[in-house]
Structure 1
Amino acid sequence: MKPTVNITHNPAENQFETTIDGHTGFISYQDNGDSIVYDHTIVPSELGGQGVGSALVKHALDYARSEGKKVVPQCSFVASYINKHEEYQDLVK
Structure 2
Amino acid sequence: MTDITREDGENGGRWVTVIDGHTAEMTYSRLGTSKLIVDHTGVPDALRGRGVGLALAERMVADARAEGVRVIALCPFVKAQAKRHPEWSDVIE
**DSSP 3-state at the match of 1:91:** coil
Alignment of 1:14-93 (within 5 A): 14-32=13-31, 33-93=33-93
Structure 1 residue 87: deviation in Å? 1.1
TM-score under structure 2 length normalisation: 0.91
- Per the TM alignment, residue 70 of structure 1 is displaced from its structure 2 partner at its CA by 0.7
Q: Trace 1:4-19 onto structure 2 (pairs within 5 A).
A: 4-12=1-9, 14-19=13-18
Structure 2 residue matching 1:46: 3-state secondary structure: helix
SS at match of 1:14: strand
Alpha-carbon RMSD: 1.2
How far off its partner does 1:61 sit?
1.2
Counterpart amino acid of 1:6? D
Contiguous gaps of at least 5 residues in structure 1: none
In 1, the alpha carbon distance for the partners of 2:40 and 2:92 equals 16
Aligned letter for 1:9?
R
Classify the secondary structure of the residue corresponding to 1:49. Answer: coil
Deviates more, 1:5-14 or 1:42-51: 5-14
Question: How far did residue 86 of structure 1 move?
Answer: 1.4
Residues 7-50 of structure 1, C-alpha deviations (whole Å, 9 max, x = no match):
00111470000000100000000122110110000000000000
Question: d(CA) in 2 for partners of 1:59 and 1:16?
Answer: 8
Q: Give the match's secondary structure for 1:90.
A: coil
State the distance in 2 between where 1:31 and 1:62 align. Answer: 17
